[in-house]
Amino acid sequence: MPTAPRYHLNVTDHRAKLVIEGDWTVHTLSAVQPELSHLEAADVQALEVDLTGVGRFDTAAAFLIDRFACVRGIDAIEVEGGSDGMRQLLTQAASLRPKPQEETPHEEPHGLVDLLERTGRTTSSLVNEVVDTLAFFGETLMSMFMALVRPTRMRWTALVAVMEDSGLDAVPIVAFLSFFVGMVIAFIGASTLSEFGATIFTVELVGIAVLREFGVVLTAVILAGRTNSAFTAQIGAMRMRQEVDAMTTLGLDPMDVLVVPRAFAMLIMTPVLTLVAMLFGVGGGAFVSWVALDINPTVFFNRIQEFVPIENFWVGMSKAPVFGMIVALVGCRQGLLVGGSVQSLGRSTTKSVVQALFSVIVIDALFAVFYMELGW
């Protein structure tokens, strides 16, 4: 039967002596905790605790006594009597006190040095991000190569599901937007070229612009906003629910299960969506040329065949797998970087879309320079 805890407090010349007796454990402290917490001990600068008459003593009792001292601004407790274990518990409780933080005046950064510091920090973060992305790209290529060498490692069900969700389900929006972009290009070409009496060249403008640039770039932008964010949200939610950690515990590689099927799906479906975008973009240009410029669709498509080189089509199609790979890599990588909070998921999704759009535009510019040097 535990002995009821008892205490007695003597205050002399700003020095308090707390004598405790009985069993001070988590099961018995309820009898003394409210009264001890509100005990008056004004102008006390030192505290001595007498543990001579204590039977049992645990961590809860040590924290209660230390809180009694902490509230009254006493830094150290002098211990009399008691075992070494009791003294260690009191020392441990004192070591876990929250340390006061010194308030430093906040100064707004200004001047050339601060500007250079921020620029250097941002540049360093950008370089680290590029290096980490390239490392993830290399790891993904290795996993994809192993999946080709050993097809049994491929998650075929996941591959088909991602192809349907990211590819087939995106056909309507890609076709719809490409059709209207083709119409816009034709309207701009017609209004500009009519000043020079060269309205017929709207056909070449639509053909080259859609086949070479707008078809593939528009597809990549749609996938970056639609599919890329979906990849990040899906994998990020799995990270938050610790499903990715569970895969690792079961001996499954998250790269094989999550990243490789999405990368292959985008490699396959992005050229298909690009072809759809090209067809509907040219169709939108043909519709405007027929309605506004009185150019018969037969004349329109015959002129495209005759005056628009086929190289423009292959230039656009050659970019499609690269853009699809970018969308898959950025989306999966940012999803795997999600932490355990909803705020982390939101930040990663936003960062994923921005990085994918930025990468698509930059790489498209590099493609333009590359093909210009080749003379295509």
Note whether 191 and 85 are same-domain residues. no
Note whether 23 and 154 are same-domain residues. no
Note whether 161 and 262 are same-domain residues. yes
* pLDDT attached to residue 99: 63
Tokens found for residue 265: 């799906």
Q: Of 95, 125, 157, which residue is a domain's last?
A: 95
Q: How many domains does the chain have?
A: 2
Q: Are 20 and 49 in contact (CB under 8 A)?
A: yes
Note whether 329 and 197 are same-domain residues. yes
CATH of the domain at 55: 3.30.750.24
Note whether 68 and 150 are same-domain residues. no
| Dist CA 336 CA 255 (whole Å) | 10
Please list the pLDDT of the chain residue by residue as tens digits (376 residues): 567 888 877 777 777 788 888 887 888 877 777 777 766 555 677 778 888 888 888 888 888 888 877 777 777 788 887 788 888 888 888 777 766 555 555 555 567 788 888 888 889 988 998 899 899 999 999 989 998 898 888 888 889 999 998 888 899 999 999 999 999 999 888 888 888 878 888 888 999 999 999 999 999 999 998 899 999 999 999 888 888 888 888 888 888 888 999 999 999 999 999 999 999 999 999 999 888 888 888 988 999 988 888 999 999 999 999 999 999 999 999 998 888 778 888 888 999 999 999 999 999 999 999 988 888 7
Does residue 120 lie in a domain region? no
Q: Are 233 and 291 in contact (CB under 8 A)?
A: no
Of 274, 319, 318, 259, the closest CA to residue 167 belongs to 274
Nearest-5° Cα angle at 137, 135 to 138: 65
Name the pTM for this structure.
0.67
Note whether 88 and 151 are same-domain residues. no
| Dist CA 308 CA 313 (whole Å) | 9
- Say how many C-beta atoms besides its own lie within 10 A of residue 51's C-beta: 21
Note whether 57 and 145 are same-domain residues. no
Q: Are 254 and 244 in contact (CB under 8 A)?
A: yes
Does residue 125 lie in a domain region? no
Of 302, 306, 276, the closest CA to residue 182 belongs to 276
Q: Are 65 and 77 in contact (CB under 8 A)?
A: yes
Does residue 11 lie in a domain region? yes
Q: Of 43, 68, 95, which residue is a domain's last?
A: 95
Does residue 344 lie in a domain region? yes
| Dist CA 319 CA 368 (whole Å) | 10
Q: Of 61, 95, 129, which residue is a domain's last?
A: 95
Question: Which residue range is the domain that position 174 belongs to?
Answer: 138-374
Note whether 202 and 350 are same-domain residues. yes
